[in-house]
Amino acid sequence: MPTALILGSSGTLGSAIAAELHARGYTLGLHYNSRKEPCETLLQRAPDAALFQANFNDPAAAAQLAAAVTQRFQRLDALVWACGIVKDSPLVSQPESGLREVVITNLRGFFLVLKAFSRLFIKQKSGSVLALSSHAALAGRAGGTAYAMAHSGLISLVKSAAREWGPLGVRVNAVLPPFVAGSGMGRAASPEFIESAKHKRVLKTECDAPASFAKFATGVLENPLISGQILSADSRIA
């Protein structure tokens, strides 16, 4: 039975991906930082799953998490990065502390996770990594420079890791989710941003966005032909 670790599985999109992977027969590792309850809800549906807590503001957390996951599963077939925070502010008034916090969580955290799990993936000569990035990484974001900067760096990191690990059979990709107003980040967005995101979609039809995105993301995660790619599940055009 394949194993998957979903980092940020307490979030709306991370939880949806975890549910889809469970439906496809994966044994799950469910990561959370402070919100344990959504993971416990997933655990009721997947009783063989394991819970892992880690705060990636701590630079030692990724290595400690990798050690715990390796001890529990011995191998890892899929790793999903669905962590992130938003602290939007106009460029002219963006405090350095806010910039630092966004970059530490959204970019440095992912870098340290890749580094921590690299030995396991290289030893296996297999595995698939999928990072959830953002439309802002390609289009920029007025009032959200720190977030756009961090995700632009994440995309470069995905491509670099894919180049390094591709010859070993390890795939690394990123996907751009649609804007989901009901997600944690969506609820933090301003009404003006929500309206702007809706207006920019060329598709106006409504659907269960988290579930549809989870199917798309899992398809990318499992596709043996794809690595180093940035794939959009959005109808906003950058």
- Residues designated catalytic: 147
30: left (phi over 0), alpha (psi -120 to 50) or beta: beta
Q: How many CA atoms lie within 13 A of 124 on its CB side?
A: 22
* Structure token digits, residue 141: 């974001």
* Structure token digits, residue 21: 């992977």
- Secondary structure element (H or E) that encloses residue 220, with its range: helix 209-222
Cα 125 from chain centroid (whole Å): 22
CB 82 within 8 A of CB 19: no
